[in-house]
Structure 1
Amino acid sequence: MNAERLLELYDRISEAPDAVSRLRRFVLDLAVRGKLVEQDPEDEPASELLERIAAEKKRLVNAGQIRKVKPSPALNEDDIPFDLPHGWAWTQIADLGLVSPRNEAPDDQPASFVPMPMIASQYGVTNRHEPRAWKEIKKGYTHFAEGDVALAKITPCFENGKSTVFRNLAGGIGAGTTELHVIRPLIVSADYILLFVKTPHFIETGISKMTGTAGQKRVPKAYFTHSPFPLPPLAEQHRIVAKVDELMALCDRLEETHNTREATRYRLTNASLTRLTAPDTDEPTFQSHARFALDTLPALTTRPDQIKTLRRTILDLAVRGKLVEQNPRDTPASALLSKIREQRNELLAGEYPNTAEARTQIKKLAKQQLSSQLPTLPSGWEWATLQQCSLLVVDCKNKTAPYSSSGINLVRTTNVRNGRLNNTDQKYVTEATYKAWSVRCLPEPGDILITREAPMGEVCLVPAGETVCLGQRMMLARLVPETIDPNFMLYSLRDPRLMERVQDKPLGMTVQHLRVGGVESLLVPVPPLAEQHRIVAKVDEFMVLCDRLESNLETIDDKRGRLLDCLITEMSTSAAEEPELV
């Protein structure tokens, strides 16, 4: 394969997910199959190269420089993954040099110690510019020197390609722990060995052979040393390494170009949306920004994850009165809040939902106050706390509910995401647990559920026909019937700026969580009821468009991915038929 062909391939799939990383894997795969460069019949065949390596090992043993090496087990023909070109040979890494080499350097000799984080995570070598820790050589350690090839044996290893060729070690000697598999090549190109241990075949096959627990898996030594290894003639190894270096450098440039383009799109998208959500923007300017955003965002939005920013912008505009026009004939929110107070007082006076809870709600409402530093709202709107807008706001039972194999759905914080109730790792409780955990209030369809932690501030509505039990760190808000549109309140609580207005500040340094009072006193904007309905209709309309755009982008990504699969298959087929891809 040459650079021109790679550019032609990339130009057709540049927007496919992981296009460059997949091209890197493709190049490595071609390299070790003998499909990247031409074979030269004048090259010394790999079989003779293996004889020279064996002779060198024997010389080192006779000279007392290394211990006698055990012969490698015969390769199982069933494990041979593909056919090799003429002049190549199947062998094993153990036959290419010295495994886990040691030496007799003095214990006090300084050496460069290469810790695991410095092992390259992509195709390439150890970062030569980062400082290395210094330590003394210790007997019993695996020692490595210039040109040794290492593979991290513990996770993460295969998952992020933790393998490298050691270079520029102080004094040519390094000290490693037992967490590295090391081969010191004899005659063979160290960079070619590195190519192989980074190939998709070696990594994917090795993952299934790892041992240990899920949290700490290890690559068996036998897999590293005795897996089938495709060995080309030495001259071809050097040609392959040079070609891979060339193509990987091109991939680096393609990746940098792609990242620069994506960063530019991101900045333009952010700038467009930021102008829409800027405070105190006059109406003509806002309309101008809105037209610009609508014209440019479809072209700038190329990934499904970018739709999240668009959804947040829609919610921000909705709760600031920027999404639909105000109607001066609408009954103002001040009258709506007065109606809520009257109906709430009447219901709580009737000991709803029970005497103790009614008294608790009345006491908390008496203490509610509004911050004096609040943004200006459109005419006819009012600020209020969640409790002032609601019939009641109640906390869950602060204890983990006993699970049941079936029964009533228990809503935990993981079950509330992106404005919806989900069944992620759904747990259940019995009827008896449900009643004991819902003494303060039995959740009803239309109630708003709010998470106080993990993460805080996620909200959803209890769907129609659902019976649910509140899990730990959950709260419930119930609106006064026919006063505030539940969907508008849901959108208000999903306002990206909501957490900025928390009056009872969150607790916790590592994992923040809202106090109960922080939820009760959340500040929400209240428009006239008629405008709430118009806002909900418009938000719903835009969210459907976002869903459609997101789906289209996912479909496009899927098509790009399939095109990349087809092109790579096409290239692989061409490589199988020709000595070199041109």
Structure 2
Amino acid sequence: MSARELITEHLDLWTGAVTHKSSAGRGRNGKIELTGIKKLRELILELAVRGKLVEQDPNDEPASVLLERIAEEKARLVKEGQIKRPKGVPEIEKGEEKFPLPKSWEWARFGTITFNRDSERIPLSVSERSRRQGEYVYYGASGVIDNIDDFLFDKPLLLIGEDGANLINRSTPISFIARGKYWVNNHAHVIDGVSEGFLGYLSLYINSISLEPYITGTAQPKMNQAKMNTIPVGLPPIQEQQRILEKVDELMALCDRLEQQVGDQLEAHEVLVDTLLDALTRSADAAEVAENWARISEHFDTLFTTEASIDKLKQTILQLAVMGRLVPQDPDDGPAESLLTRLASERQIWLDSHKDENPECATMLRKLKKLRTPKPPFDLPRGWAAAHLIQLSKILVDCHNKTAPYVDEGIPIIRTSNIRERSFRFDDLKYVSEETYQYWSRRCPPEPKDIIFTREAPMGEAAIIPEGAKWCLGQRTMLIRPMLEHINEEYLLLALTEPHLLERASEKAIGSTVKHLRVGDVERLAIPVPPLVEQNRIVDKVDELMALCDQLKARLGEVGETRTQLAEAVVEQAVS
């Protein structure tokens, strides 16, 4: 099978195998990595250096002759003093060959076939480099600039990164041909060779193999000259090298076109999803939402095919829920104003009865007395009302704003990193002692059904403490204890995490580097309040739809994993 056939016959794998990059916190960008096309690029390079990308030509001068010519040229350059005499490079031993070579190819150490010019580099410090910018073009990792009068190197040379994490993770090519007039610092190896095409093939080879066996250091990976010189290189005839480079350029251009095509399709898909979901949020009431939803549901399997689109659907569900457009209103539910009146009366009685022994109750009474009438965040349905968050709370307190002393075992402390997407994360818990817990929780010990809300890093995350749990309130968080007789804590959680509440709250956020909300701004958040029975209906509907979204995402993950495995299987088969 030719390389082009390998691409075209498995096109659905290369374009369909994707990896979803999740970012932490609300407003995740849902970025996608085109894993299949990335694998395809790796496959092209691997086929190239194994001699499987282009056909061999028996008329080509064998690589053994090329090796003799390189040895003669190196001896001449050493004699003329242009390069240093290379230190002994060991012969390639049996078993070191990475794969079988085609006839007319040869194995050779990197150091025996290249001319190293590292001694001509300029190891300048940052301050020295800034003073010499007018004289030299600097090469670090991003390329060079042409047409500079004063220079060290004035011919195409191969530059290979000497240190940095990219030696291992290979997020970008580790080597390339530098052209123009430039100087190089001591973070890149400078390699010359018998021709520019020869250097081009070496660059392709270095970028196709793992360099980990030749790297020292972990905190700061480094590949020194001695290690680099020992890399075994499968060397084709010089004429075949050129054919390989041309074929790789052709196929990489094809990959570029595939990426552009897939990118355009994803962008068009994103616009379509945004438009349809926007139509949902602009629906006048639950009945119109149902009509628009019916149109979307006809194409559900083709619309919500990425994690980003499913996440947007989840955000739309939350928005519709708190706008009163997810379930129909029922006039028999009674107005929310009456609910708020009863809530305020019962809260006043409870706070008055506890203010003498609990200073937080006295603080709540003082703050409630100063409140103005809340402005609704948007047009509310008939029977709904708006209230400040503190008005819906029995107690609302800020945390002890210091980092707690941790212990190996004890009571878990909820930090901002432990709350994501309305849930607690238990993968990185810290613990405090009973003594620390008592002091850190002196204002109000957290209880089940309390809501923990983050003011910073990130702001706007929230979760409900589950039954049977004992938690300590961590730094940059607030504890909200709803008036549960009148407010469904699950509904309040939805209202605190719907996408536009954070947008509105962000207008008041302070901080030049890390934005955060002040305690008073959180207390005065405007919450849309439906009657209690409607709150319960909203929570049930949201749970139903979120479960559907989770099922979609799980199936999507299974399909993506299968496609990725198939792409890897095709790669393994092609190079075997």
Structure 2 residue 161 is the aligned partner of structure 1 residue 152: yes
Out of 176, 179, 182, the residue aligned to residue 165 of structure 1 is: 176
Q: Is 1:431 paired with 2:448?
A: no
1:20-64 Cα shifts (integer Å, max 9, x gaps): 110000010111111111122222221221111010111122233
- Partners of 2:9 and 2:448 in 1: CA distance: 56
1:450-497, Cα deviation, whole Å (9 max, x unpaired): 011110010000011110001111110001232111100111111100
- Asked if 1:180 corresponds to 2:183, the answer is no
Does structure 2 conserve the Cα–Cα contact (< 8 Å) formed by 1:397 and 1:471?
Answer: yes
Tell me the TM-score normalised to structure 1 length.
0.89
Inter-partner Cα distance in structure 1 for 2:346 and 2:147: 71
- In structure 2, relative to structure 1, the CA distance for the partners of 1:37 and 1:469 (3 Å cut) is same
- How far is 1:376 from its partner? 1.2
1:299 corresponds to which residue? Answer: 302
Q: In structure 2, the residue corresponding to 1:346 is in which secondary structure?
A: helix
Of 427-436 and 40-49, the range deviating more from structure 2: 40-49
The change in CA–CA distance for 1:369 and 1:117 in structure 2 (over 3 A counts) is: farther
| Maintained 8 Å contact 1:413/1:453 | yes
Q: Distance in 2 between matches of 1:415 and 1:570?
A: 43
Which residue of structure 1 lines up, in the alignment, with residue 37 of structure 2? 20
The answer to whether the 8 A contact 1:152-1:162 is kept is no
Matched, 1:230 2:234: yes
Which residue in the other structure is 1:449 paired with? Answer: 452
Once the 2 structures are TM-superposed, how far is the Cα of residue 154 of structure 1 from its aligned partner?
2.6
Aligned pair count reads 548
Displacement after TM superposition at 1:209 (Å): 4.8
The CA distance in 2 between the partners of 1:361 and 1:527, in whole Å, is: 23
Report the alpha carbon displacement of residue 217 of structure 1 after superposing the two structures with TM: 2.8
**Root-mean-square deviation over aligned CA pairs:** 2.5
CA gap 1:303/1:533 in 2 versus in 1, 3 angstroms: same
Letter in 2 for 1:414: S
Q: Deviations over 1:259-293 (max 9, x none)?
A: 11111111111111122123x74677544432333
2:64 counterpart residue number: 47
Please say if residues 286 and 324 of structure 2, whose CA atoms lie closer than 8 Å, have aligned partners that are also in contact.
no
* Matching residue of 1:383: 386
Residue 367, structure 1, aligned to residue 358, structure 2: no
Which of 142, 159, 167 is matched with 1:118 structurally?
142
CA contact (8 A) 1:92 1:227 kept: yes
Moved more, 221-230 or 354-363: 221-230
Report the equivalent of 2:323.
320
- Counterpart AA for 1:451: T
Identity %: 38
Alpha-carbon separation, structure 1, partners of 2:247 and 2:401: 63
> Which residue in the other structure is 2:253 paired with?
249
- Using the size of structure 2 for normalisation, the TM-score is 0.89
CA separation of 1:308 and 1:208: change in aligned 2, threshold 3 A: farther
- Point out where structure 2 has 5 or more consecutive residues left out of the alignment: 19-34, 123-131
Alignment-mate amino acid for residue 80 of structure 1 = E
1:34 is aligned to 51
1:296/1:191 CA distance change after superposition, 3 Å: same
Q: Aligned residue for 2:23?
A: none
Separation in structure 2 between the aligned mates of residue 572 and residue 10 of structure 1, nearest angstrom: 18
Deviation at 1:68, TM superposition (A): 2.4
Distance 2:239 2:116 in 1: 23
- With over 3 angstroms needed to count, the CA separation of the structure-2 counterparts of 1:479 and 1:354, relative to structure 1, is farther
The residue correspondences of 1:463-482 to structure 2 (distance < 5 A) are 463-482=466-485
* Distance in 2 between residues matched to 1:19 and 1:558, nearest whole Å: 11
Hey, what's the Cα distance between the residues in 1 that align with 2:564 and 2:48? 23
Partner of 1:577: none
Contact kept, 8 Å, 1:396 with 1:473, in 2: the verdict is yes
Displacement of 1:161 = 3.0
Alpha-carbon distance in 1 for matches of 2:182, 2:60: 34
* Aligned residue identity for 2:177: F
Separation of aligned partners in 1, 2:319 and 2:149: 56
Distance 1:420 1:374 in 2: 25
Which residue number in structure 2 is paired with residue 335 of structure 1? 338
Paired AA for residue 452 in structure 1: R
2:216 alignment counterpart: 211
1:502 to 2:505 alignment:
yes
Alpha-carbon distance change, 457 to 110 in structure 1, aligned in 2, over 3 angstroms: closer
Displacement after TM superposition at 1:133 (Å):
9.7
3-state SS in 2 of match to 1:476: strand
Do residues 5 (structure 1) and 14 (structure 2) align? no
Contact 2:157 / 2:179 at 8 angstroms: preserved in 1? no
Question: How far, CA to CA, are the matches of 2:251 and 2:272 in structure 1?
Answer: 31
CA distance in structure 1 between the aligned counterparts of 2:81 and 2:573, rounded to whole angstroms: 52
Distance 1:437 1:64, change over 3 A: closer
Residue among 530, 541, 546 paired with 2:544? 541
Q: 1:323 to 1:76 in 2, by over 3 A?
A: same
- Whichever residue aligns with residue 178 of structure 1, its letter is N
CA shift at 1:210, angstroms? 3.4
Partner of residue 189, structure 1 = 198
Cα deviation digits, residues 390-448 of structure 1 (max 9, x gap):
10100111111110110100100000111001113210001111111110111001100
Quickly say closer, same or farther: Cα 1:379–1:353, change in 2 above 3 A.
farther
Q: Per-residue deviation at 1:319? A: 0.3
Amino acid in the other structure paired with 1:116: G
Q: Partner amino acid for 1:436?
A: Y
